[in-house]
């Protein structure tokens, strides 16, 4: 096979043409590389957005799932207040069991925690990042409120087995129930705001299922 040596340029014009050809080739190669990187970045953004929406759909579903129990939650708190006042009798042996507390799944932030710190964030429009950051900040508030509700319900376990409450126990029980009512009111108030901002992203709630044997009306029944 014959190897042809490059011909030397015989004039500045030929030299300029050769240099220009090389530069154009380099620019085309760089442009193609950038186009491939851009397309790859857009695919990652689309996948990340889909993952975020799936997580937000679950989180919104969790808030609505908890809200389904609120009517019975109020009934249970009313019953416990009547017990504290001596106006009702109940068998409190199971106050520590899950059957006597509302089901409150946790709100998740995993997808956002990964997305906001990874390379994908650099490809996502700033306006989108700000919208997601705002929504997750609101969900952080909701998560804190839910945790305070969970803690207050767990505190009721201190009265387990106390068929009759003395004055100090009744006072402490009313304090715990006040914390439950406060947390519930905050959650209900903020739920409207959270739902509006999440739905503005095009997300619909994905409502989780109650565990076997549990319903939204469990707390409407007697203490088990």
Q: How many CA atoms lie within 13 A of 63 on its CB side?
A: 30
- Over pLDDT 90: what percentage of the chain? 55
- 133 pLDDT exceeds 90? yes
d(CA 148, CA 142): 10
Tens of pLDDT, residues 24-54:
667 666 665 555 554 555 577 788 899 999 9
14-33 burial: b if 16+ Cβ within 10 Å, else e: eeeeeeeeeeeeeeeeeeee
pLDDT at residue 92, rounded to an integer? 79
Tens of pLDDT, residues 145-195:
999 999 999 999 889 888 788 999 999 999 999 999 999 999 999 988 999
Location of structure tokens 């809200």: 67
pLDDT at residue 160, rounded to an integer? 86
Residues 6+ apart with CB under 8 A from 179: 148, 151, 152, 155
pLDDT at residue 1, rounded to an integer? 46
Q: Of all helices (H) and strands (E), which one includes residue 147?
A: helix 126-155
Residue predicted with more confidence, 60 or 14: 60
CA-closest candidate to residue 197, choices 130, 110, 145: 130
Residue predicted with more confidence, 31 or 114: 114
Contact 78, 177 (CB under 8 A): no
- Cα dist from 55 to 7, 69, 103, 205, whole Å: 63, 22, 19, 10
CA-closest candidate to residue 44, choices 127, 118, 112: 118
Neighbouring CB atoms inside 10 A of 209's CB total 7
Two tokens at 101?
């507390």
d(CA 188, CA 61): 14
Contact 79, 109 (CB under 8 A): no
pLDDT at residue 10, rounded to an integer? 60
pLDDT at residue 185, rounded to an integer? 94
Tens of pLDDT, residues 51-109:
999 999 999 999 999 999 999 999 999 999 999 999 988 887 888 788 889 999 999 99
d(CA 86, CA 81): 9
pLDDT at residue 65, rounded to an integer? 95
3-state class (DSSP) for residue 107: coil
């Amino acid at each position: 096979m014959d190897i042809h040596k490059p011909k030397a340029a015989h004039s500045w014009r030929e030299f300029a043409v050769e240099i220009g050809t090389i530069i154009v080739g380099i620019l085309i190669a760089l442009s193609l590389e950038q186009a491939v990187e851009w397309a790859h970045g857009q695919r990652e953004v689309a996948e990340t957005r889909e993952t975020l929406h799936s997580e937000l759909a679950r989180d919104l579903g969790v808030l609505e799932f908890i809200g389904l129990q609120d009517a019975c939650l109020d009934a249970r708190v009313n019953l416990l207040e009547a017990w504290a006042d001596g106006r009702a009798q109940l068998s409190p042996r199971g106050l520590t069991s899950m059957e006597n507390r509302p089901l409150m799944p946790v709100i998740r932030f995993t997808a956002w925690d990964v997305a906001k710190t990874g390379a994908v964030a650099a490809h996502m429009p700033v306006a989108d990042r700000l919208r997601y950051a705002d929504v997750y900040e609101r969900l952080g508030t909701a998560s804190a409120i839910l945790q305070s509700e969970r803690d207050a319900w767990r505190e009721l376990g201190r009265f387990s087995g106390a068929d009759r409450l003395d004055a100090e126990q009744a006072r402490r029980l009313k304090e715990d129930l006040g914390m439950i009512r406060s947390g519930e009111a905050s959650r209900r108030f903020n739920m409207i705001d959270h739902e509006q901002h999440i739905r503005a992203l095009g997300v619909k709630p994905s409502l989780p299922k109650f565990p076997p044997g549990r319903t939204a009306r469990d707390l409407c029944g007697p203490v088990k």
